[in-house]
Amino acid sequence: MKKFGAGFVLALCVLVSTAVLAEDGLTVWTAQGVAHGKTINNGRVKAFLGLPYAAPPVGELRWRAPEPAAHWKGVREATEFGARCAQNQLFPDMRFQDAGPSEDCLFLNVYAPADATAASKLPVMFWIHGGGYESGASSEPRHNGDFLPLKGVVLVTINYRLGVFGFLASESLAKEQGGTAGNYGLMDMIAALHWTRDNIAAFGGNPENVTIFGESAGSFAVSTLMASPEAKGLFEKAIGESGGAFSGALSVDKAAMQEKKDEQWVQSLGVKSLAELRAMPVDALLKAAKDRKGGFDVVIDGKVLTESVEKSYADGRQAHLPLLAGWNRDEGSFFAAGVTAEKFRANAGELYKENAPEFLKLYPAANDAEALRSAVDFGGDMFIAFSTWKWIEAQRKTGEAPVYRYHFELAAPVSKFVKVPAAFHSDEIEYVFGTLDTREGAVWRPEDRKLSEEMMGYWTNFARTGDPNGAGLPEWPRYGAGDEIIHLDEKISAGADPYKARYEFLMKYGLPKFGGD
């Protein structure tokens, strides 16, 4: 009888082991190596968690464009979330399922229907989390992939560098990197899109049918990636939830201004070189960033962005692809504390002078209750709605593709962090993902679950075809000459935009200026 050496036996064991893994449908061959996932939602969804899409951005790679992820040997267990990106906690309602923050954080997660195979070619939905470009992660429970894949899509959720690690753009970094610096968080998103394009077919996704979608900062990112030459051709559709890089919060600054401001901040740290700056401990940088007035902004870096986002759209150089976008009714709910009719009218006079009467027709304040509602409306317009409206309008004018606009209106019940029923900023996320039960302290009603099912249908239909409409859903009209929008409420309805006059007023007279750093 022929004898076999130990090496042959080991190789045979690996082969048999891999074959067994492959039979369970949870083993995928990626460009970096073999990954083994798990099932969730009672076996109905396959999840592959914590997959590296780029090299750890540490040491010499801190504040550099992402490098390719390394290959690994053997089978990588993809059953736990990778570390979230280093950050200061800004929002108390953000909860995470990973082991903790780290600078080594460029991981993504893939969720697919349990029966998906490499031949499925399902539409791909690529999620970019919010958090002001300062906080957040793909491991937040509200972004879980238990339910969206059941609508026949493959879901990808990502981490990207945040705050000082993702957007520092100092003069010394610009000198080192050939002219301009910054936008590392956006570069991470683009690297993750490349990874998706190269690997998603193995999970059952169609690399030629990718929809990017995001909320708040994630929505700002969607509008920005549509204008980026570096992201061209990496996605076919876009969804924006509450945010657009069209002035206001998270607007694109001029590179030279940002680089000078960031250089002054770096000098205040007492470091004498980029090597010393890169050697600073993560916690020390986070503390210094937290104490700094103002954040770290997206800039025109000459590569990711070669001009302002607004100019790209105005001149028709953005991606010409279908867009679904909108915002929530009560985005400005945190602006309403202590508002009275008298105070609101006085503020209107200070802000808009002789134009205050016109303002008060659009944001009326005949009594305290009316003033409170107007304060929420105006606060939301200043904060996020006006910039999102400008993005939608720009894409409608020059994008040469269908646009669908929504207004999310169902007031969610009170919960741990929400004391008054409202359709507040970020409220729609759990509806979109079908993850209502991850919100702490909320007691959901039948109308919430019904709307969640309808929104999952709209979002996934759009990812599939570029049109949100489908069987069993109220008709969602295309945003055209009649300014048609859909109202996402207990009962969905559609009609002409009732808020247009507000945004035309703000286009004419501008948003108030409140100083800054």
Is 350 one of the catalytic residues? Answer: no
Distance CA 83, CA 393 (A): 38
Q: Which residues pair with 102 in a beta bridge?
A: 85
70: exposed, middle or buried (Cβ count in 10 Å: 0-12, 13-18, 19+): exposed
Q: Which residues pair with 13 in a beta bridge?
A: none
Pairing verdict, β 107-113 and 154-158: antiparallel
| 288-325 burial: b if 16+ Cβ within 10 Å, else e | bbeebeebbbbbbbbbbbeebbbebbeeebbbebbbbb
Look at residue 34 and give its three-state secondary structure.
strand
Do the beta carbons of residue 142 and residue 180 sit within 8 Å? no
Is 331 one of the catalytic residues? Answer: yes
Active-site entry in 129, 143, 407, 425: 425
Active-site entry in 138, 170, 216, 426: 216
Q: Which residues pair with 2 in a beta bridge?
A: none
Cβ-proximal residues to 178 (8 Å cutoff; 6+ apart), any chain: none
Is 194 one of the catalytic residues? Answer: no
Tell the residue number behind the tokens 């992660």, with chain if given.
137
DSSP at 44: T
4 C-beta neighbours (distance < 10 Å), count: 10
Active-site entry in 331, 393, 428, 430: 331
Task: Enumerate the active-site residues.
Answer: 216, 331, 425
